């Protein structure tokens, strides 16, 4: 059993898929989010989407960093994480505007004071204000904040995003076909709408990142930060402390905590422009979140092979995690996005324009692979160290 499973988490979420296997798959079973007919207004030309996600265990990292440094601003990043994990999933079905967001925050009041709540809530609105500058309008509808110390040890920051959208402007992934190329967008660097270097970590795989990167002392000093039923041999087994300095080539010095806590980048400004100007050329969109580089397997058509042979070189955060954890390439690419966080399936002739638009926002982009005909659905990842087949 790998370390990820020993910590009570699953990159592939097999139990969740088993529990939901009998639910209605919606109008488009291969779409990245579940899409339903317009029950709000009863218009056959429109659809409704409601999506729920959150920052996951990244909030525990924010808690540790805040306790160590007193820097309460890290909680604004957690607010962004909870929004982006909803927003960028909705981008993948073509929705980028006129959205509603409701937050759900569960906290242990004994360890999470009011000023942390204020930072999360204000951070959410500040992020919406930034997105509005790019024509992505999200209305903050409030939400639920509950003191449930018997349920959560520290804090859980989640949200639900809702939209009503024209059916003719939906990306359903049904157009993905052999001969397509895959344009990958990098989740790391510094986009022109970001104020700092982004490590690219996103909001998935953070249980592994936290325990594999951080020193045993965190478990000893912050008992509230982990599940006490875990075997101690998998709890905080890393070499680092959050304030350990590291030099990122081209960006200067930062620390381990900030690398792991980089707010999840939204691709909304980029994808909005692509959807408005190249909608017909976009055959599919995949957000490489839970499941990392294998996420596409759930949404591609039957009988195609996805070949990824030109992924971005993983940025420093993933190299540090792999060094600390001794995880195999196979496990790393199943758990983490490894630097390539959004995939656009398109015609070869349209790829260059999409890449150019993305780079105009200082978001690196390149053709990372292709779609081939196959007798079975599979994914092949080609790395300098060898080939991974899923």
Assess whether pLDDT exceeds 50 at residue 35. Answer: yes
Strand partners of residue 81? none
Token couple for 169 = 């402007």
In the numeric block, the tokens 């898929």 are attached to: 17
The confidence band for 24, taking pLDDT boundaries of 50, 70 and 90, is confident
132-181 pLDDT, tens digit per residue, is: 999 999 999 999 999 999 999 999 999 999 999 999 999 999 999 999 99
* Structural domains present in the chain: 3-195+262-389 (3.30.1330.10)
Assess whether pLDDT exceeds 70 at residue 18. Answer: no
Residue range 2-11: average pLDDT? 60
The confidence band for 4, taking pLDDT boundaries of 50, 70 and 90, is low
Q: Specify the range with the lowest mean pLDDT, choosing from 50-59, 227-236, 351-360.
A: 227-236
Residue 233: exposed, middle, or buried by beta-carbon count in 10 A (0-12, 13-18, 19+)? exposed
Determine the pLDDT at residue 1.
Answer: 44
Determine the pLDDT at residue 227.
Answer: 92
The confidence band for 21, taking pLDDT boundaries of 50, 70 and 90, is low
Residues 54, 62 contacting (CB under 8 angstroms): no
Determine the pLDDT at residue 56.
Answer: 95
Token couple for 173 = 């992934």
Strand partners of residue 166? 46
- Helices 58-69, 74-91: crossing angle, 10 deg rounding: 160
288-298 pLDDT, tens digit per residue, is: 999 999 999 99
Determine the pLDDT at residue 322.
Answer: 96
Assess whether pLDDT exceeds 60 at residue 17. Answer: no
Strand partners of residue 140? 101
Report the percentage of the chain scoring pLDDT > 90: 92
Determine the pLDDT at residue 25.
Answer: 79
Average pLDDT, the chain: 94
Assess whether pLDDT exceeds 70 at residue 237. Answer: yes
Assess whether pLDDT exceeds 80 at residue 6. Answer: no
Assess whether pLDDT exceeds 90 at residue 5. Answer: no
Query: 359 phi and psi, to 5 degrees?
Result: -65, -25
In degrees, rounded to 5, the angle at the alpha carbon of residue 287 between the alpha carbons of residues 168 and 16 is 100
Q: What pTM value is reported for the model?
A: 0.93
The confidence band for 91, taking pLDDT boundaries of 50, 70 and 90, is very high
Determine the pLDDT at residue 253.
Answer: 95
Residues 138, 99 contacting (CB under 8 angstroms): yes
Task: Spell out the residues 6+ positions from residue 118 whose beta carbon is closer than 8 angstroms to its own.
Answer: none
204-219 pLDDT, tens digit per residue, is: 999 999 999 999 999 9
268-281 pLDDT, tens digit per residue, is: 999 999 999 999 99
Give me the helices (H) in the chain, please.
3-6, 14-19, 58-69, 74-91, 114-132, 206-213, 217-221, 256-260, 268-278, 316-325, 329-335, 348-360
């Amino acid at each position: 059993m790998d370390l990820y499973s020993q910590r009570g988490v699953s990159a592939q979420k097999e139990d969740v898929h088993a529990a939901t296997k009998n639910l209605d798959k919606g109008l488009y079973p291969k779409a990245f989010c579940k899409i339903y007919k317009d029950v709000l207004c009863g218009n056959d030309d429109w659809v409704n989407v409601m999506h729920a996600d959150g920052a996951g265990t990244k909030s525990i990292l924010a808690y540790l960093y805040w306790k160590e440094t007193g820097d309460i601003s890290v909680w604004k990043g957690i607010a962004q994480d909870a929004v982006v994990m909803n927003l960028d999933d909705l981008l993948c079905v073509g929705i980028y505007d006129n959205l509603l967001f409701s937050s759900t925050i569960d906290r242990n009041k004994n360890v999470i004071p009011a000023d942390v709540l204020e930072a999360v809530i204000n951070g959410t609105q500040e992020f919406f204000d930034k997105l509005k500058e790019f024509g992505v309008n999200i209305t903050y509808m409030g939400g639920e904040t509950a003191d449930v110390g018997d349920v959560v040890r520290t804090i859980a920051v989640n949200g639900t995003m809702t939209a009503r959208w024209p059916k003719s402007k939906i990306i359903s992934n049904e157009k993905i076909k052999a001969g397509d190329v895959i344009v990958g967008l990098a989740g790391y660097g510094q986009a022109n709408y970001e104020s700092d270097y982004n490590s690219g970590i996103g909001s998935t795989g953070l249980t592994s990142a936290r325990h594999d990167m951080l020193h045993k002392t965190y478990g000893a000093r912050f008992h509230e930060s982990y599940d006490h039923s875990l075997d101690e041999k998998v709890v905080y087994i890393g070499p680092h402390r959050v304030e350990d300095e590291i030099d990122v080539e081209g960006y200067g010095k930062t620390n381990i905590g900030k690398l792991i806590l980089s707010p999840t980048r939204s691709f909304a400004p980029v994808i909005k422009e692509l959807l408005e100007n190249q909608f017909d050329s976009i055959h599919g969109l995949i957000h490489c979140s839970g499941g990392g580089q294998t996420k596409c397997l759930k949404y591609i058509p039957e009988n195609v092979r996805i070949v990824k042979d030109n992924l971005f070189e993983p940025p420093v955060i993933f190299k540090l995690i792999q060094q600390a954890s001794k995880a195999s390439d196979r496990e790393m690419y199943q758990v983490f996005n490894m630097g390539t966080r959004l995939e656009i399936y398109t015609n070869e002739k349209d790829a260059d324009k999409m890449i150019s638009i993305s780079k105009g926002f200082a978001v690196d982009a390149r053709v990372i692979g292709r779609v081939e005909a196959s007798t079975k659905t599979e994914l092949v990842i080609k790395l300098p160290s060898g080939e991974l087949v899923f």
